[in-house]
Amino acid sequence: MTQQPARSVFTAARVANEAVDGWLTDHAVIVEGDRIAAVTPKSQLPADIAGTAELFDLGDVSLLPGLIDAHCHMHCSATGDAQQLAMSEDVPVLTMRAVNAMRKALLAGTTTIRDLGSHNEVAFPVRAAVEAGVIPGPRMLLAGTPITITAGHCWFFGTEADTTDEVVSAVRRQVRLGANVIKMMATGGMFTPTANPRRPQYSAATLAAAVGEAERSGVQIVAHTLAADGVQNCVEAGIHNLIHARWYDQDPDAELDYRPDVVRRMADQGQWVDPTIGHQLLGEEAKSQHGLAGAPVHWAVSAKEITVSAHIELLLKMDEAGVRFTSGLDMGMVHAYHDLTAANAWAFVEWLGWSPWRAIHTATAGTAEAVRVNGIAGRIKPGMVADLAAFEGDPARNIRNLNIASTVVQSGRTVKLNNRALV
């Protein structure tokens, strides 16, 4: 680990403004300890600045708040055999995988990650090691093991809980371990051969009991849901963030079952959605560029293949209805490498037609709010923790310039400088 200087100054041709919707040209970010002290035009820096602070002149780069990803699985490999590896590998191997993945994520510019499902024996020790400065990694919000039914989605790294009482106990156990967020599997999923993605795993009443318990403990609660019935249950239960929020009809011969009234209530209740379209975009690109097969089609959806454009059409309707989206890649799933959080922003621009600034705002300040770290992270603003990521080129002109960061600052400490890793 590099030593943290008392005072450092980062200058760049473009620095994101406080609202994260435009550039400040030729500005300097002054960092004291782990916090941003001031943002000023470069021309107004005192002449003797180099004598009183460590000066990093980053040149023609775009300096953004560190990226925030709301959906990670730190121990999953992102390779075609991710599922088999997650089922077969033991805790030491999964831990080494997670350590490597978290370093990669940080060096790509992701300074905060919310992990939504990893073994407790992996996730909590990895976070403790990062916080102790033993290994590099982003700030971590952790669910630990997701809560699922017996043989349900991700049972092989989840806590199996079937009844409402078992679910409430499972929530309490995660809180005891130090979870900042509870992850429920409200329906089956593609990653688990035994779990039907078109059907709910829990009733709205059981989910509501879990929400009550999470809120009593002051932690957030999110749920994976691919089916229309699961989305409705999550909305009725008041789940804080919905993950995927797809609309599979429960009939395998039918396609999607979009429910505008449920979406209206979702928007009214302020429930964020992680549409995981960055993951989908990476999957489509891998297929077209390398002829690689995506994840094998699940038995319960194979009766009818649902196109990407059908999903996009419904995401556009949800967007129009006022539902807010998070930037969450589902890191660790097939093709979703831990250094590619930027793919979410690419998909928002290229598939949903958003402006680049709207996508950049979502990747930083927006997702900070969704994962409840907006008091400290997500903006370049005095008082915030000094988490910064610099990108070559201008992502506000071409969103693909938001990719792997060339310089990364975490809590005031430079962990990567001009494409050279320092940790």
User: Cα–Cα distance between 191 and 45 in angstroms, integer?
Assistant: 53
- From 27-35, 214-222, 279-287, 326-334, give the range in contact with Zn ion by CB under 5 A: 326-334
Interface with Zn ion includes 121 (CB under 5 A)? no
Please report, for residues 145, 154, 386, 393, 399, the alpha-carbon distance to residue 180 in angstroms, rounded to integers and kept in the order given. Answer: 12, 20, 22, 36, 31
- 371 with 29: CB under 8 angstroms? no
330 vs 392, beta carbon nearer Zn ion: 330
121 vs 330, beta carbon nearer Zn ion: 330
**Rounded to 5 degrees, what are φ and ψ at 287?**
-65, -45
Cβ burial 248-259 (10 Å sphere, 16+ → b, else e): bbbebeebbbbe
Least distance (Å) between residue 248 CB and Zn ion: 16
Interface with Zn ion includes 69 (CB under 5 A)? no
Least distance (Å) between residue 104 CB and Zn ion: 18
Least distance (Å) between residue 191 CB and Zn ion: 8
Least distance (Å) between residue 71 CB and Zn ion: 6
53 vs 122, beta carbon nearer Zn ion: 122
- 12 with 58: CB under 8 angstroms? yes
- From 180-188, 196-204, 246-254, 325-333, give the range in contact with Zn ion by CB under 5 A: 325-333
10 vs 157, beta carbon nearer Zn ion: 157
Interface with Zn ion includes 330 (CB under 5 A)? yes
Tokens 């560190």 found at: 66
User: Cα–Cα distance between 112 and 130 in angstroms, integer?
Assistant: 12
Least distance (Å) between residue 224 CB and Zn ion: 6
Binders of Zn ion: how many residues, by CB under 5 A? 1
Please report, for residues 2, 312, 369, the alpha-carbon distance to residue 322 in angstroms, rounded to integers and kept in the order given. Answer: 43, 15, 16
CA 105 from chain centre, in angstroms, equals 11
229 vs 330, beta carbon nearer Zn ion: 330
User: Cα–Cα distance between 105 and 112 in angstroms, integer?
Assistant: 9
330 vs 339, beta carbon nearer Zn ion: 330
Least distance (Å) between residue 73 CB and Zn ion: 6
Residue 231: its H or E element: helix 228-237
- From 170-178, 211-219, 251-259, 329-337, give the range in contact with Zn ion by CB under 5 A: 329-337
213 vs 330, beta carbon nearer Zn ion: 330
Nearest-CB residue for Zn ion: 330
The span from the first CA to the last CA of the chain, in angstroms, equals 6
78 vs 342, beta carbon nearer Zn ion: 78
Least distance (Å) between residue 318 CB and Zn ion: 19
Q: Taking each helix axis from N to C terminus, what angle separates 260-268 and 308-320, rounded to the nearest 10 degrees?
A: 50
Nearest to 280 by CA among 319, 221, 335: 335
Least distance (Å) between residue 186 CB and Zn ion: 12
Interacting residues toward Zn ion by CB under 5 A: 330
